Amino acid sequence: DTEVTQTPKHLVMGMTNKKSLKCEQHMGHRAMYWYKQKAKKPPELMFVYSYEKLSINESVPSRFSPECPNSSLLNLHLHALQPEDSALYLCASSLRTGRDTQYFGPGTRLTVL
C-alpha cells in the first residue's frame, strides 16, 4: 500500500470558520509534510514532521496549525483564513526525512470565501 489519503477532497469555508484537513498513511512512514499549491504555481513546502515532531516550519502564518497525533496521521487546522489562502493543500509522507522518496496524496482543494 503506497497510498496517502486526504480528506476532504474539497472544502469551502468562511473567513471566521475553523476547519481541519486530514492526511493519513499506513506505510510506516515517519516523516510527513504539508504543501500549499496555488493555481498554476508549483507546490510550496509549509511544514515537515519527523517522528511526530515538527522539524520544519517555513514561516507559515499562525492561522495554519499543524498537528501530528500519531505516526500515521497528520492534521492541518485552519482558523481565520483569508481568501488568498484558497489553494490545493497537499500532504506527503516518506520513510524518514533525508533522501527517502516522498509520496503525495491527491490534495484538498480549499476555497475561502
Partner 1 sequence: DAKTTQPTSMDCAEGRAANLPCNHSTISGNEYVYWYRQIHSQGPQYIIHGLKNNETNEMASLIITEDRKSSTLILPHATLRDTAVYYCIVSPTTDKLIFGTGTRLQVFP
Shortest separation between residue 48's beta carbon and partner 1, angstroms: 6
C-beta closer to partner 1: residue 56 or 113: 56
* Longest pairwise C-alpha distance within the chain: 39
Within residues 20-49, the interface with partner 1 by CB under 8 A covers 31, 41-45, 48
- Other C-beta atoms closer than 10 Å to the C-beta of 109 total 16
Torsion of CA 3, 72, 61, 87, to 10 degrees: 20
At residue 38, what is the residue type? Answer: K
104 contacts partner 1 (rule: CB under 8 A): yes
Question: Which residues make up the interface to partner 1 (CB under 8 A)?
Answer: 4, 31, 41-45, 48, 55-56, 90, 92, 94, 97-107
